[in-house]
Amino acid sequence: MVLAPVTPGCERGLRELLATMNSKPGMADPANPILPFGQFERLHFARLAVLDDPTVGDIEAHGVPRPDLPVYLALTGSCDGPADRCIADLARDAGTGLRRIFAHCDDFDAQGDLAAWTRAHQRPLAANYINWVGRTVRQVKEESALRRALAARVPRAPLASGAQAQQLRRELIEFVDAEVSAGKLGLTPPDPTPLRWKLAKLLHLLAIPLVGLVLLPFLLVLSPLLIYLLRTKEESDAEICPPPDRAALLELQQLEDHEASNQYTAIGSVKPGLFRRWLVTWLLVLIDYTARHIFTRGFLARVQTIHFAFWAFLDDKRRLVFTSNYDGGHEAYMDDFINKVAWGLNLSFSHGVGWPRTRWLLARGARIENKFKNYQRRHQLPTEVWYKAYPGLTLADLERNQRIREGLEPTHLTDAQVEAWLRLL
Amino acid sequence: MSAIQGRPVELADVQGLVRFGYKHLTEACFLLLRVRNPAAARAWLARAPVTSAVRTDRLPDTALHVAFTSEGLRTLGVAPDLCAEFSAEFLAGIASDAARARRLGDVGANDPGGWRWGTGERTPHVAVLLYAVAGGLAALEREIEAECAAGFERIERLSTSATQLAEPFGFADGLSQPQVDWDRKRPLGDHDRLEYDNLVCLGEFLLGYPNEYGLYTPRPLLAPQRDPDGLLPRAEDAPEQADLGRNGCYLVLRQLRQDVRGFWRELDRQAGGDAELRERLAGAMVGRKKDGDPLAAPGTVNDFTYQADSRGLRCPLGAHIRRTNPRNADLPPGARGLLSRLWRVLGFNAAALEQDLVASTRFHRLLRRGRKYGDSAAAARLGAAYESSAEVGLHFMCLAANIKRQFEFVQSAWLIGSKFDGLTGESDPLLGHRLSEPGNSPTDGFSIPQAGGPDRRLSGLPQFVTVQGGAYFFLPGIRALRYLATAP
């Protein structure tokens, strides 16, 4: 995430400029002249949002005066390979447009090195979730083309026997081979994961539990106090869940449902005090850990509809911003959250000012349906510009297409496996 | 929460439509009215002979129900701050903006701009629903129209078919209904239900009672000073306040025109003229045979789930009745025991995850009260040969406590959604608008899984059902109706 404070008074001009990048409300034109996202072949998703937090005064409920915090411009993207390379590409090929955007930011140096400035404004993510680690844009597009070609090709009359299914698969493989040779389909083998990444991942895999192990005795000793603090705060922290402003809600809805997927950007203040600050920090470390090492293959607990999501701190951990790219409509997304992973929402968001009351960190909270739905809409911000590299495709599509491709590889499959593969078409 | 559970339902205060479908009242019409003289309108509403939900020894010969749109409440003179307490969807209305139209599939030929009623000056204020035994409607209607004439102007009269046996495409209809927990026996509380159950908490359909989350759906609650005569019941969850919502619910009405001839001609084309195959394909699209027999569980009516048919070999995943009611529990099936449950909650059970794209049906149930219109019997009988230019279709009507989580969710995520349950390129086979989506994704297909090979796939389906009008109403409790008639 690239983050820079917007120059006071420039916010409106910035929003107007961002709107020119869209073909529909909030939907980036992939070929827009300012940031032609479609040219960047490694870019999955991107967004530009003005982080102007209307709930910043909520913290007064905790007896803390309303802080004077900046309005930020956030540029976020999910790309294959290192973020630095992505930024360098953007600065090189869309420098003029980027400069026009960043010119609305406080400390932008119009004469300086754009890539360096952009890199310097990158903020670390507290937790980062990727639906399928290692699945590239190229792979998504190639596999989608593969499915289309095979779906159009496959005869759909019922098959009489396993042998017939085997024969059909052989013919389809020959067809794919011919199409690949003719350059009509591409099935590029994946780039090997760089050794440095593997090592860093291994180090992370071991380091975090090690730190946990070191801290464990202290936690155990302190646990009565921590539990006391948690329960007292859970019982007394203010709930602030009024219905969202109708005009603001309509503005958000106008940006939604133009596509099979949607975007979500939200911001909120972390409850004051060291207890919440530490708790949310460590819980996000834990979430990041599970996202990096456990939830890397198509699901975040029971939720299978999030492409990318991250949590990031702002303003010295006084605020938290969350973004996600998800399949389906907003209401279905929130119902999925409530009905499948309310405990996970509570774990990560109940430290936000005004969150519906939780019990033991996991229970209630987001399960209080109406309060939660009001809360999340009220904290949501319009995503001014949103780009998705593969319109019309959901994660269910991506996964099916990947399985179709994987099914081409083995020299021998059982009849049942072949039939299951044919069903994917 | 369980302490207040004992209070029985005040059936005398509930409009009978919530409890009864009035099968024996074969004649019905829905009058859509606009208020012309608020005082006269209120005077009629104060004494309108509304039928309650109390069961009588002798079935009634007529029934009358009254519901309001938000514009209607405002026009009658209900105070703005009181109106504002109703749900956002009701306040905005069904045809409020392009975003809602996208969500509901009201685009293309369904666009509210082309509706016969439901927008602008053609937005009803009040719906008066009349039901009568055969031969009784005309007299009732004359009487009510005469009474209403001073206060209201009629903008539309929605007539209904005399026979309600099959819907115009020829399929038995109205078979799947939730069983409403009138006795308040369903245990409350917020925990996962591991089995699908057709018994649904009263609060999913009536305001003022706990819903499936064990919570009270927001509705207008008033300080007692605003109800000095004590017309309204008190709120269960806030006994010091008067509950304007209690015993009422929201009512969604949509006029759906059905192209019967187009439907059967298309199926004939898809079947290559094979009559037996044509019936089979139509049944696959509906999920039931014409006589109502469900493909997933032949021989039953409504007491089944799709658990034994997870791949859709018997009933396609995208079949109409599977989309409208997927009949699944809060957790995908698996072994009993805490560890297995934890494993599924964390998403580690791959087989369970595959069946988990759609879950927790119990939060998305609709109580349907629709009626067919036009010569639906002839249409159902003749199919492709139905050549009359007279329109046939369905006045879709459903009742719910939460328009957004129930009607709008089912309509957008399950029916119109082209990615329901991992499918692609198809929306509801009966109701879909067929317009392509970004990325050149079609929505006009339908896939029928087959054992041992690729799905049979229908493509290029035309639109069979077109929306002609619609509105969101509030169907108040009877005491609330009298209260609203005082223009509080």
Q: What is the pLDDT of residues B84-134, one digit of tens each?
A: 999 999 999 999 999 999 999 999 999 999 999 999 999 999 999 999 999
Q: Is A114 on the interface with B (CB under 8 A)?
A: no
Question: What angle (nearest 5°) sits at the alpha carbon of residue B265, between those of residues B259 and B267?
Answer: 105
Q: If phi over 0 gives left and psi between -120 and 50 gives alpha, with beta otherwise, what is residue B47?
A: alpha
User: Of chain A residues 333-372, which have a CB less than 8 A from chain B?
Assistant: 335-336, 339-340, 364, 367-370
Closest CA to A233 of A351, A369, A385: A351
Residues B330 and B217 in one domain: no
Spatial contact of B197 and B363, defined as CB atoms under 8 Å apart: no
Residues paired with A48 in a beta bridge: A75, A385
Q: Is A414 on the interface with B (CB under 8 A)?
A: no
Number of domains in chain B: 2
Surface-to-core class of residue B318, CB atoms within 10 Å of its CB (0-12 exposed, 13-18 middle, 19+ buried): buried
Residues B214 and B299 in one domain: no
Average pLDDT of B180-198?
Answer: 89
Closest CA to A381 of A224, A268, A222, A241: A268
Spatial contact of B48 and B64, defined as CB atoms under 8 Å apart: yes
Nearest CA in chain B to A290: B346
Rg (Cα) of chain A, in Å, rounded? Answer: 24
Closest CA to B353 of B379, B332, B322: B332
Token pair belonging to A154? 């496959």
Residues B434 and B304 in one domain: yes
Spatial contact of B163 and B173, defined as CB atoms under 8 Å apart: no
Query: Could you give the CA distance from residue A230 to residue A224 in angstroms, rounded to a whole number?
Result: 10
Cβ atoms within 10 Å, residue B65: 23
Q: Is A389 on the interface with B (CB under 8 A)?
A: no
Nearest CA in chain A to B212: A369
Query: Could you give the CA distance from residue B326 to residue B176 in angstroms, rounded to a whole number?
Result: 11
Q: What is the pLDDT of residues B55-81, one digit of tens each?
A: 999 999 999 999 999 999 999 999 999
Q: What is the pLDDT of residues B445-488, one digit of tens each?
A: 999 999 888 999 999 999 999 999 999 999 999 999 999 999 88
Residues B240 and B282 in one domain: no
Tokens 């809602």: give the residue. B100
User: Of chain B residues 95-154, which have a CB less than 8 A from chain A?
Assistant: 97-100, 102-103
Q: Is A332 on the interface with B (CB under 8 A)?
A: yes
Residues B239 and B178 in one domain: yes
Spatial contact of B77 and B485, defined as CB atoms under 8 Å apart: no
Answer whether residue B4 shows pLDDT above 80.
no
Give B-chain residues touching A298 at CB under 8 angstroms: 353
All residues at 6 or more sequence positions from B350 whose CB lies less than 8 Å from its CB, including other chains: none
| Sheet of strand A261-269, all strands in order from the earlier edge strand to the far edge | A127-130, A306-314, A319-327, A261-269
Q: What is the pLDDT of residues B20-61, one digit of tens each?
A: 999 999 999 999 999 999 999 999 999 999 999 999 999 999
Spatial contact of B287 and B312, defined as CB atoms under 8 Å apart: no
Q: What percent of chain A has pLDDT over 70?
A: 100
Residues B202 and B274 in one domain: no
Amino acid at A67: P
Give A-chain residues touching B359 at CB under 8 angstroms: 302, 336, 339-340
Residues paired with A43 in a beta bridge: A79
Query: Could you give the CA distance from residue A351 to residue A359 in angstroms, rounded to a whole number?
Result: 13
Query: Could you give the CA distance from residue B55 to residue B363 in angstroms, rounded to a whole number?
Result: 28
Query: Could you give the CA distance from residue B152 to residue B44 in angstroms, rounded to a whole number?
Result: 10
| Predicted local confidence at residue B3, as pLDDT | 41
Indicate the average pLDDT of chain A: 95
Determine the distance in angstroms separating the CA of B23 from the nearest CA of chain A, rounded to an integer: 34
Tokens 């202290």: give the residue. A218
Q: What is the pLDDT of residues A85-102, one digit of tens each?
A: 999 999 999 999 999 999
Q: Are B353 and A304 inside 8 Å of each other by CB?
A: yes
Amino acid at B299: G
User: Of chain B residues 230-259, which have a CB less than 8 A from chain A?
Assistant: none
Q: Are A302 and B449 inside 8 Å of each other by CB?
A: no
Q: What percent of chain B has pLDDT over 90?
A: 86
Q: What is the pLDDT of residues B410-420, one digit of tens each?
A: 999 999 999 99
User: Given A250, A331, A364, which is nearest B408 (Cβ)?
Assistant: A331
Q: Are A392 and B439 inside 8 Å of each other by CB?
A: yes
Give A-chain residues touching B88 at CB under 8 angstroms: 243, 246, 249
All residues at 6 or more sequence positions from A294 whose CB lies less than 8 Å from its CB, including other chains: none
Query: Could you give the CA distance from residue B156 to residue B470 in angstroms, rounded to a whole number?
Result: 12
Q: Is B359 on the interface with A (CB under 8 A)?
A: yes
Give A-chain residues touching B99 at CB under 8 angstroms: 250, 253-254, 256-257
Q: What is the pLDDT of residues A41-71, one digit of tens each?
A: 999 999 999 999 999 999 999 999 999 999 9
Cβ atoms within 10 Å, residue B135: 10
Give B-chain residues touching A129 at CB under 8 angstroms: none
B6 — pLDDT class (breaks 50, 70, 90): low
Determine the distance in angstroms separating the CA of A203 from the nearest CA of chain B, rounded to an integer: 24
Spatial contact of B478 and B48, defined as CB atoms under 8 Å apart: no
Could you give phi then psi for residue A292, rounded to 5 degrees? -85, -30
Residues B220 and B346 in one domain: no
Question: What angle (nearest 5°) sits at the alpha carbon of residue B312, between those of residues B309 and B318?
Answer: 130
User: Given A159, A331, A364, which is nearest B404 (Cβ)?
Assistant: A331
Q: Is B417 on the interface with A (CB under 8 A)?
A: yes
Q: Are B409 and A259 inside 8 Å of each other by CB?
A: no
Q: Are B190 and A367 inside 8 Å of each other by CB?
A: yes
Token pair belonging to A347? 């774990």
Q: Is B341 on the interface with A (CB under 8 A)?
A: no
3-state secondary structure chain A: CEEEEECCCCHHHHHHHHHCCEEECCEECCCCCCCCHHHCCCEEEEEEEEECCCCHHHHHHHCCCCCCCCCEEEEEEEECCCHHHHHHHHHHHCHHHHHHHHCCECCCCCCCCHHHHHHHCECCCCEEEECECCCCHHHHHHHHHHHHHHHHHCCCCCCCCHHHHHHHHHHHHHHHHHHHHCCCCCCCCCCCCCHHHHHHHHHHHHHHHHHHHHHHHHHHHHHHHHHHHHHHHHHHCCECCCCCCHHHHHHHHHCCCCCCEEEEEEEEEECCCHHHHHHHHHHHHHHHHHHHHCCCECCECCECCEEEEEEEEECCCCEEEEEEEEECCHHHHHHHHHHHHHHHHHHHHCCECECCCEECCCEEHHHCHHHHHHHHHHCECCCCEEEECCCCCCHHHHHHHHHHHHCCCCCCCCHHHHHHHHHHC
Residues B477 and B457 in one domain: no
Q: Is B454 on the interface with A (CB under 8 A)?
A: yes
Q: Is B459 on the interface with A (CB under 8 A)?
A: no
C-alpha of B173 from chain center: 13
Spatial contact of B164 and B134, defined as CB atoms under 8 Å apart: no
Residues B86 and B141 in one domain: yes
Token pair belonging to A356? 């519906």
Determine how β-strand B199-200 pairs with β-strand B179-180. Answer: parallel
Answer whether residue B238 shows pLDDT above 50.
yes
User: Of chain A residues 219-258, which have a CB less than 8 A from chain B?
Assistant: 243, 246, 249-250, 253-254, 256-258
Determine the distance in angstroms separating the CA of A69 from the nearest CA of chain B, rounded to an integer: 31
Interface A–B counts its CB contacts (< 8 A) at 147
Mutate to test the interface with B, among A23, A29, A257, A401 (most CBs of B within 10 A): A257
Give the least confident one: B74-88, B233-247, B329-343, B453-467: B329-343
Give B-chain residues touching A390 at CB under 8 angstroms: 439
ipTM of the complex: 0.95
Determine the distance in angstroms separating the CA of B153 from the nearest CA of chain A, rounded to an integer: 31
User: Given A246, A304, A425, which is nearest B88 (Cβ)?
Assistant: A246
Spatial contact of B251 and A407, defined as CB atoms under 8 Å apart: no
Give A-chain residues touching B441 at CB under 8 angstroms: 260, 391-392
Determine the distance in angstroms separating the CA of A174 from the nearest CA of chain B, rounded to an integer: 18
Q: Is A397 on the interface with B (CB under 8 A)?
A: yes
> Residue B464: which domain range?
254-469
Answer whether residue A290 shows pLDDT above 60.
yes
Q: Which letter, b or e, does each residue of B175-209 get, where b requires 16 or more Cβ atoms within 10 Å of its Cβ? A: ebbbebbbebebebeeeeeeebbbebbbbbbbbbb
Mutate to test the interface with A, among B340, B349, B441, B447 (most CBs of A within 10 A): B441
Residues B94 and B66 in one domain: yes
Average pLDDT of B213-226?
Answer: 95
Determine the distance in angstroms separating the CA of A368 from the nearest CA of chain B, rounded to an integer: 8
Spatial contact of B180 and B367, defined as CB atoms under 8 Å apart: yes
Answer whether residue B245 shows pLDDT above 80.
yes
User: Given B99, B363, B449, which is nearest A423 (Cβ)?
Assistant: B449
Spatial contact of B148 and B42, defined as CB atoms under 8 Å apart: no
A103 — pLDDT class (breaks 50, 70, 90): very high
| Predicted local confidence at residue B2, as pLDDT | 41
| Predicted local confidence at residue B441, as pLDDT | 86
In Å, how far are A209, A352, B125, B462 from A181, measured between CA atoms? Answer: 48, 55, 66, 38
Query: Could you give the CA distance from residue B170 to residue B279 in angstroms, rounded to a whole number?
Result: 11
Residues B377 and B412 in one domain: yes
Q: What is the pLDDT of residues B269-310, one digit of tens each?
A: 999 999 999 999 999 999 999 999 999 999 999 999 999 999
Q: Are B437 and A259 inside 8 Å of each other by CB?
A: yes
Query: Could you give the CA distance from residue B429 to residue B426 in angstroms, rounded to a whole number?
Result: 7
Spatial contact of B48 and B160, defined as CB atoms under 8 Å apart: no
Q: Is B455 on the interface with A (CB under 8 A)?
A: yes
Residues B200 and B262 in one domain: no
